[in-house]
Structure 1
């Protein structure tokens, strides 16, 4: 099954798959009416409509029907350098396959589709944060351990 671009009708399924991803990372997504889900619906809709620097691919049914997998890529903007003169990089995020559809290559096809899209717009430096479940998919697609260590700062003590 080939990935297709996500459409606004897919937003409920994108939110559902986001909850699947969170649960697989050990984060309780909470009930169907959890406040983050409303925020996520607006977040996805904003990025699916009218943004040239974001791409969301899905595998599964027609728009509005159940999805098997999804993933997103967007352009990030950094300082120019000799090798990356315009400072643009790609970032992959939200790559998730529903539990019943894992092991069928959906995640890899989404990763390939997203990296192809980025290459097509002239971006050849792509970053992501990998879960242990997804690491083999990303390595098979050519990703390597980052050159620079990742670090986080949480300024809210409850984070």
Structure 2
């Protein structure tokens, strides 16, 4: 089902689960990212037509088993994708107790369906080693575009 504002505490909890699974210490309950997260999620699940967040679990406000998001990214036009739009999947995570039950695959399929429904057929993601089998089963293939990152630090 689509996420609602009542799911935000669980979305933040599952974000911490995802970070820990990636080897990133999510920090304490008062970590700065957790202060920003409620507003970040609220804007994206309430006010944006170019973002879609799905959850698996109980009713809004109850514990969630899994979540994932898709959003539209905007790039230069190209022959195959003339409007330059691409889809991006992110934040796909299943709580430890619910892994291996197909929740991530259902999330991925639902997000791909949403993107296809709005006319986006070029979808990207960055996969963890644990997530690769899920994405490969859904039809994702390694990109021929190398991914590179640059992290800059503001000057004091």
The two structures share one fold, judged by TM-score above 0.5: yes
Which secondary structure state, in structure 2, belongs to the residue aligned with residue 59 of structure 1? strand
Q: CA separation in 1, counterparts of 2:132 and 2:84?
A: 26
Which secondary structure state, in structure 2, belongs to the residue aligned with residue 26 of structure 1? coil
Partner of 1:83: 80
Q: CA separation in 1, counterparts of 2:36 and 2:132?
A: 28
Q: CA separation in 2, counterparts of 1:143 and 1:154?
A: 27
Instruction: Choose 34-43 or 82-91, whichever is displaced more.
Output: 34-43
Summarize deviations over 1:60-101 as a string: whole Å, max 9, x none. 000000000000000000001111000000000000000000
* 1:37 positional shift: 0.4
Deviating above 6 A after TM superposition, structure 1's stretches of 4 or more consecutive aligned residues are: none
Partner of 2:3: 6
Which residues of structure 1 form unaligned runs of 5+? none
Does structure 1 residue 149 correspond to structure 2 residue 146?
yes
Q: CA separation in 2, counterparts of 1:51 and 1:129?
A: 22
Match of 2:46 among 42, 46, 49: 49
Which secondary structure state, in structure 2, belongs to the residue aligned with residue 5 of structure 1? coil
* 1:32 positional shift: 1.2
| Count of residues in Structure 1 that have an aligned counterpart in Structure 2 | 154
Q: CA separation in 2, counterparts of 1:104 and 1:61?
A: 16
Match of 2:16 among 14, 19, 22: 19
TM-score by length of 2: 0.97
Partner of 2:89: 92
Instruction: Choose 30-39 or 101-110, whichever is displaced more.
Output: 30-39
Does structure 1 residue 111 correspond to structure 2 residue 108?
yes
Q: CA separation in 2, counterparts of 1:19 and 1:35?
A: 13
Match of 1:61 among 55, 58, 65: 58
